[in-house]
Amino acid sequence: MTDDHSRYRDHVATLRQRYDNALEQCRLDAVVLAAGQPHGIFLDDQHLPFKPNPHLLQWGPLREHPGSVLIVRAGEVPRLLVYTPTDFWHEIPPVPDEFAVGELQVEAVSNAGDIAAAVRQIAGQCAGAIAFIGETTPATDTCGINRINPDDLLAVLNEFRTVKTDWEIDNLRAASHMGVKGHLAAREAFRGGGTEYEIQLAFRTACNATDDEMPYPAIVALNEHAATLHYQRLDRERRPNLSLLIDAGHAVNGYASDITRTHSDDAEFGALIEAMHELQRDLCTAALPGVNYRELHHAAHLAIAALLGEAGLITVAPEDAVEAGISRTFFPHGLGHFLGLQVHDVGALYTRREPGSTVPEGEDKYLRLTRTLEAGNVLTIEPGIYFIESLLNDLRGKPAAGMIDWARVDALRPFGGIRIEDNLCITGDGHENLTRRAFSALDTEMSA
């Protein structure tokens, strides 16, 4: 057992309190968290990579045991039934160390019918006051439980997940640290003239991760490909490397990092990247407890419009550019999102807690976080500027087209775009920048 098991113990103690509270609020005696099953491929006998139910994963890193369940009853030690079938086709991994700490009652069960029977027995004892949380397919046996993924319970549990425990923050910090190792290797590969495929390989090799172990497919975009926000092709073609936008992270015990850096050796575009770093750092500085994230998103638009002016891309004042929608042509996505077991983590829309407030729509429809920040929140700050063909074409037909220096746009278009993305943990009186902290520790150029 390593030192951090005390953090894990505290984490489980916190989860038990939270679940007791949630069960009481929802008038339940118990909840069953089902890991789920890998998805089969149409007309094939293969399966897609298994992604476990994050509500179960929060109790410990059970990433490789489909068919398992955790039974949580108010006031009792939760019971984890780990499905360990006899299988001569696949290696069944051992139960992870965390579960040997004794915070959960753990049983390895080789027969799926025994797991179903155990759940049925509990369901019978709870006489309807039991819920099932997990993915359901026509093949799913919910073992007599008919409250499946109830909205009220999910809302309470999602809300709890927005405040990370110390063990969760340790994992997120470690995920940032490993992700930054990958980013430094990717930067070297870019400078060495690597293709997109080779750059992602450098990233994954430095992180020691398979594709399936990454929290999301790496976005590795050279040159004009950076204008596609979630570019996924991983080109093998070797071309002059004008710029690289890499958005890639690592996961530790299921907790993700989500980091973007943009690089270029071109003096002019390099200066724009540096200016974006400064803008992004200012936004990070403003991410404090009590700050409304929607307002930070609007502040980002004004700052980006100011930068577009400084770069000679627009010819009007920042306020006018935002008013005319031009900042959204160059920065069409949200400023960021919560981060945790899911890259776009749950509970991020204020509406869940504030009846009467509205979900983002219209010009803010891609904003994934609208809450007032509080200690324990972990989130991203990821402003950008992109030269997106379709959005620029839309703008050309509008009166606001006169506010753009199109020759300047054409000059920068081959570089695709810039995004700088850090992961922040909000503390009681400020925040910890998990990403820049890792760059400071690992990057000998200190160019974070």
* Footprint of ligand GLY (CB under 6 A): 216, 247, 258, 337, 343, 382, 421
**DSSP class of residue 350?**
G
Dihedral pair phi/psi, residue 246, rounded to 5°: -120, 125
**Residue 223 sits in the site that holds Mn ion (CB under 5 A):** no
Site for Mn ion in 363-382 (CB under 5 A): 380
Query: For residue 389, how many other CB atoms are within 10 A of its CB?
Result: 12
- Write the DSSP string, 32-73: EEE---PPBPTTSS-BPPP---HHHHTTS---S-TT-EEEEE
Quick one: 232 or 357, whose CB is closer to ligand GLY?
Answer: 232
Here's the x/- map for Mn ion, 413-432, by CB under 5 A: it reads as: --------x-----------
With 0-12 / 13-18 / 19 or more C-beta atoms within 10 angstroms meaning exposed / middle / buried, residue 51 is: middle
Quick one: 197 or 216, whose CB is closer to ligand GLY?
Answer: 216
Quick one: 79 or 183, whose CB is closer to ligand GLY?
Answer: 183
Here's the x/- map for Mn ion, 108-147, by CB under 5 A: it reads as: ----------------------------------------
* DSSP H or E segment with residue 336: none
Contact 219, 230 (CB under 8 A): yes
Q: Which two tokens stand for residue 193?
A: 């003239």
CB of 336 to ligand GLY, least distance (A): 8
**Residue with nearest beta carbon to Mn ion:** 247
Q: Which does 103 bind (CB under 5 to 8 A by kind): Mn ion, ligand GLY, none?
A: none
Rounded to 5, what percent of the chain is helix, strand, coil? 40, 15, 40
Contact 206, 185 (CB under 8 A): yes
Quick one: 162 or 380, whose CB is closer to Mn ion?
Answer: 380
Closest CA to 241 of 261, 221, 255: 221
Quick one: 38 or 217, whose CB is closer to ligand GLY?
Answer: 217
CB of 276 to Mn ion, least distance (A): 15
CA distance 109 to 282: 52
Single out the residue of 98, 103, 198, 258 in contact with Mn ion (rule: CB under 5 A).
Answer: 258
Q: Which does 168 bind (CB under 5 to 8 A by kind): Mn ion, ligand GLY, none?
A: none
Single out the residue of 198, 247, 345, 422 in contact with Mn ion (rule: CB under 5 A).
Answer: 247
CB of 250 to ligand GLY, least distance (A): 12
Q: Please give the angle made by the CA atoms of 411, 417 and 423, to the nearest 5 degrees.
A: 155
CB of 229 to ligand GLY, least distance (A): 8
CB of 394 to ligand GLY, least distance (A): 23
Put residue 102 in one of left, alpha, beta given phi > 0 → left and psi -120 to 50 → alpha: left
Contact 108, 95 (CB under 8 A): yes
Sign of CA dihedral 314, 316, 319, 321: negative
CB of 277 to Mn ion, least distance (A): 16
Q: Which does 377 bind (CB under 5 to 8 A by kind): Mn ion, ligand GLY, none?
A: none
Q: Which two tokens stand for residue 331?
A: 């920065």
Quick one: 143 or 385, whose CB is closer to Mn ion?
Answer: 385
Quick one: 165 or 370, whose CB is closer to ligand GLY?
Answer: 370
CB of 379 to ligand GLY, least distance (A): 11
CB of 421 to ligand GLY, least distance (A): 6
Q: Which does 216 bind (CB under 5 to 8 A by kind): ligand GLY, Mn ion, none?
A: ligand GLY
Tell me how long the chain is. Answer: 448
CA distance 448 to 179: 13
CA distance 378 to 216: 17
Q: Which does 294 bind (CB under 5 to 8 A by kind): Mn ion, ligand GLY, none?
A: none
Binding segment (CB under 5 A) for Mn ion, from list 103-111, 253-261, 297-305, 371-379: 253-261
CB of 405 to ligand GLY, least distance (A): 29
CB of 203 to ligand GLY, least distance (A): 13
3-class DSSP state of 381: strand
CA distance 53 to 51: 7
Quick one: 54 or 67, whose CB is closer to ligand GLY?
Answer: 54
Site residues (vs Mn ion, CB under 5 A): 247, 258, 260, 380, 421
